[in-house]
Structure formats: structure tokens, C-alpha cells
Amino acid sequence: MSSRSKEKMTAMFRKIFRSSSKNDEGPSKPSPSGSGSPARRLLRGCRDSVSPAPPTGSPAFKAPSSTSTSKSKKPTLEETPINKTVRARRLMKEFKDLQKLQHSKPDPVFTVDLVDDNLFEWHVRVHKLDPESDLGNDMKELGITHIQLHLTFPENFPFAPPFMRVISPRIEKGFVMEGGAICMELLTPRGWASAYTVEAVIMQFAASVVKGQGRIQRKTKGQKGFTKRSAEESFRSLVKTHEKYGWVTPSLADG
């Protein structure tokens, strides 16, 4: 074997030993430039960009507290702000309209005022009735200038009627009952409609008390005064009676 052939054989053996030594050391680390297949590089990028979900105790996760649950408690029907707004808006509008009407005339048929600035409680003074009626003559004779009424408006007004009663003077007949309660179908849930106004209720009373031949009670000695409690009891009783036997009250046109 020539010397040149020996050098070739020696170079070949060196290559073989170098390659075996590299395999024994294990896979080489990836270079900073990003060696390997495209699929491997894509997987490494996904692992680096996706962060694990935060644990339930971390600031990123807030469980609903008991206080927030209690604050979101659904209100009842009577507590809903919209129902209170409907009642307040309706009464405010009607009160302003009636105040404007009564100030526009020197001798209004009736006047309205709030009780202790309470929008849901009114005093009404009826100044004019049929002058040819017995009740009108009684008022002239006794120097009584008006009939005073008291109105309270429930939470679900105008979808339920107000409660109205006579405070003074003491009237007998005329659909005025014990305690000052007023026997009118219009004031009951069965006869009420949300379109009715306070003005219509007052004018209906003025017609009913005359049509029912109301008179001022002259003998008041030993008689109990009109009270809200007795009026409410009397009204409940007469409503039950009239629901059983029907209602007969004059229409507004008859007044």
C-alpha cells in the first residue's frame, strides 16, 4: 500500500470516529437562530405565548360575594321604582293642573291642597253644589262655605282607586255613610279605571251627594265624629253589600 493510500484510509477512519463520538454525546441544543423543523418551531412558539389560567384564588378571578348577591335582590311589586314613579308623576301632573285651574277662577267649584306637603294625601274643599238643592240651601242657612274631603292614594294608583271620605260637615243621606265613607262604585276596584282623574271623582261626588238628597245633620249631640277608621270599616261593609246586590248611583250627567 502506497503512502497516499494510507493517508486516505487514515482520513476515512477519523471521520468515522468523529461521527460516533457526536452521537454518544446526545442531541445538540437548538441554536439561537431557531433550528429544527417548522412544526417544532411552531409548537415552541405556542407554548411560549399561551399562559396558564389563573387559579381561583388569584386576583384575576373574583367570585361573587354574598354582599353583591344581597344587593341584587329583586324588589317586590310595590317597591319597584317604576310603580312609585307612575303614581308620583300622575299625581304631580293632576295636582298642578288643578292648582292652575283653581287660581284661574275667582270662585272655583273646588280647591285642592296637600296634607303636610304629602303628594299622596290631599284635602279637597267643594265650594259649589246645586244651589237649588236641599244640601245647597242647608249650607247657605248654616253659613257653611264648603264640604271638606280627605283623599289618600294607594301605592298602585292610578291602577287602584283613591280612598275618599267626608271630614266636615256631618252629612246624612246623599250616599255618605258612617264615618264619612262615600258609597260610590267609582271608588271601588270593580268600578275604577286608571283613566279616571281626581277631578272626575270630585265632580261625581258633587253629583251623588245632591242626587242622594244629602242634608247637613243639625243634631250632632251624642253623635260620633267622622274618623278614618270608622269610614274604612263602613266602606268595606257597603262594598260587600253592593257587590252582592248591585250598584245604583247617579251618573255624572245627572248632576
Q: Which of helix, strand or coil describes residue 137?
A: helix
**Is residue 183 annotated as part of the catalytic site, yes or no?**
yes
What is the phi/psi pair of residue 198, to 5°? -65, -40
CA 194 – CA 155 distance, rounded (Å): 13
For residues 125 and 148, the answer to whether their CB atoms sit within 8 Å is yes
Q: SS3 of 164, please?
A: strand
Nearest CA to 113 among 128, 132, 104, 126? 126
Given a contact cutoff of 8 angstroms between Cβ atoms, the answer to whether 160 and 86 are in contact is no
DSSP 24-66: HT-PPPPPTTT-S-HHHHHHHHHHHHPPPPPPTTSTT--PPPH
Phi/psi for 166 (5° steps) reads: -85, 130
Other CB atoms closer than 10 Å to residue 159's CB: what's the count? 14
Residues making up the chain, counted from first to last = 255
What is the rounded distance in angstroms from the CA atom of residue 232 to the CA atom of residue 187? 12
Catalytic residue among 91, 98, 149, 183: 183
What is the set of active-site residues? 183
